[in-house]
Every structure is written in structure tokens, then in C-alpha cells.
Homo-oligomer: A and B are copies of this chain.
Amino acid sequence: MYRIGIDVGGTNIAAGLVEDEFRIFSKKSIKTEEASSPTEMIEAISTLVKELMQGGSIDTADIEAIGVGVPGTAEPESGKVLYANNLGFEDVPFLNEIKEALGKELADKTYFDNDANAAAIGEYITGGYDAENFMMVTLGTGVGGGIIINGKVVRGCNYAAAEFGHMTINIDGCDCNCGRKGCFEDYASATALMEQAFEAMNGPGGRDSILWERAKTLDDLTGEIFFDAVRKRDALAQKVLETYVYYLSEGLTNLINILQPQVLVLSGGITRAADLFLDKVKENVSKSVYSRNSSRNTEITVARGIEDAGDVGIIGAALIDKM
């Protein structure tokens, strides 16, 4: 049996035919800007599905499930995308129209969900976690993620739960784009880390840093350059990372005090350099978490389920029906 996952992103709509053992047999994608209206996007998704099936000589009976991950609030009951800021969608009967476009036989096995939930489902299943309660915290442009409790995704009353990034940790802190102050993502997203590094590069001693040798603008500064400098024991980069890890740890401690998942998985591109900071995060959290005297505390780890980060969205979407 096969599954098909479609990851609707702001840049690409990527679809993949997923074999048993969560291997991607084939992939296809188009630019999101080429199918930006709901009608065009539904048409495009239907075409991608059909092309993948034809390419693999696969029949509708061989398909176990089709899942679509959407960057917005997906309401399973109505099949509507209530709101997707990056796509400009509001109240679009997305799932029902995809089902219609795919035809009756596939319609009954087609599902959708928010993309962060899909990613959490993908990591949970492919990573084989033995954890009733599970949380994935994704460090990217912002900080998002997913929560799984008793084997079910917690979608929330608006299908927008797990907005971890918008937990204030510094009520008198900097302005967040959400309108509040001092939100977790303003300190702990990958973007925030780059900003913190760039600020340090322009502060005392910044010009002596390896970072400045390799990047002169915030745009030029990448995670790779940053972590490379840390590996080379660049003092400025090390100091920036230490402060970043402090904030990250404090936010994670909050989340653990609230939900105490068995496992908290960090994901996002910067976790490729987790060897440089994961131990320190664990140490910080173990010192500040409320139940610090216990031997059964939350295990903090990095995503392990899907090797290629580009496949997380596809495989997660392909598994949506499982939760």
C-alpha cells in the first residue's frame, strides 16, 4: 500500500508517493505562485496526485490515504481552511473540493490538517516514540509545533493550538509581530538567533569575530556560518549561542511545566547543529523545571524520524489520517 502526502507551502506545493517504512518513492512539485487561487491550487493538487499515481503505475485501490498539510487553520469537520495568512485564504472549502477533484474512490481516504500538526504526526510516527504525550517544537522563522496527547493531535478550539512561539516570556520585552511583547519566538526562533548574532557583530568586539569575516549583512548570515564559527570557538558566536540557549531553555521549561510530555522533540534546520547546544539545553531545563527531583522527567531530543528535512512535510501529510 502507498500513501500520498502533499505539503502546501508558501513557495512550493510538494507532493510525494510514500511507500511502507515511510520511504518516498517519487516526488513532484510546482511553485505555489503558479496555483495561488483556491481553485488553481485544488486543480494542481489533484494533478500532482494523478501524476504520482501514474508514474508509479498505482491504482486507487493501492492508496491507503492521501493527506494535505496546509499552512493555516484546517477544520476537519467542515473541510474548510478557515484562515491561511501566507496563502491569503479565508473560509475556503478546501478539503471537499479536493475530494471532488480526486473522485469518489480517493475522496474517502483524503484528509487535511495544519502543516505543523502534520509535521508533528510525521515525526511521532516515523520516529517510533514510545510516548503517550509528545510535543514537537520547531525552531524556524518563528517557533511553532505540535502536541500529541494520548496518541491524538491536540488541534485546539480554533485548530491553531501549539502556537508555542506566542507565549510571552518577557512581558516587558521587545514588540512581537503578534502585538504582544517578549514572545518566545522573538528569542528562540532560528531567525532570532541570526538577529542576535548580527546585533553582536555590530557591538563591542564584533568586527574581530569570524562571523564578520564571512557575513556583512543579516541576509548573508546563515545558520551554517554561525555554527561553523561556534565550532571554531569564535568567542562572539559562542556567547551569542549561550544567551540564545538560555532563552530557548526557559521557554521549553515553561512548556514542560505545563504539559510534561514524555518526549519533547526540537526540530528545524538549526537542530542539525544540536551537538553544539542540546546538552546545554538539557542541563538548563533540568535545573529550572518544576519537577526537578524526579527521575522521569521529559526527554528532550531532536527530530530523528525523517532524514531529509525537505521530506518532513510530505511524509507528515501522508500520515495525517493516523491521528
Q: Which residues of A contact B (CB under 8 A)?
A: 73, 82-83, 133, 147, 149-150, 152, 154-158, 160-164, 166-173, 178-180, 182, 247, 250, 253-255, 257-262, 287-288, 290-291, 293-294, 296-298
Contact = CB atoms under 8 A, between A and B. Distances in A.
Most-contacted residue by chain B among A158, A169, A287 (CB, 10 A): A158
A167 B296 CA distance: 20
A250 B168 contact: yes
A127 B250 CA distance: 35
A1 B8 CA distance: 54
6 contacts: A73-B291, A162-B258, A163-B258, A166-B290, A168-B250, A255-B258
Contacts of A182: 171
Query: Mostly helix, strand, loop or mixed at chain A's interface?
Result: loop
A154 to B, nearest CB: 6
Of all A-B residue pairs in the complex, the 5 with the closest CB atoms, nearest first, are: A156-B260, A161-B260, A158-B291, A167-B254, A163-B257
A308 to B, nearest CB: 29
A164 B255 CA distance: 9
A271 to B, nearest CB: 21
A157 B129 CA distance: 14
B259 A161 contact: yes
B288 A179 contact: yes
Contacts of A83: 293-294
A51 B154 CA distance: 44
A224 to B, nearest CB: 29
Contacts of A250: 168, 171, 180
Contacts of A260: 154-158, 160-161
Most buried by B among A178, A250, A253, A257: A257
Contact of A257 (B82, B152, B167): B167
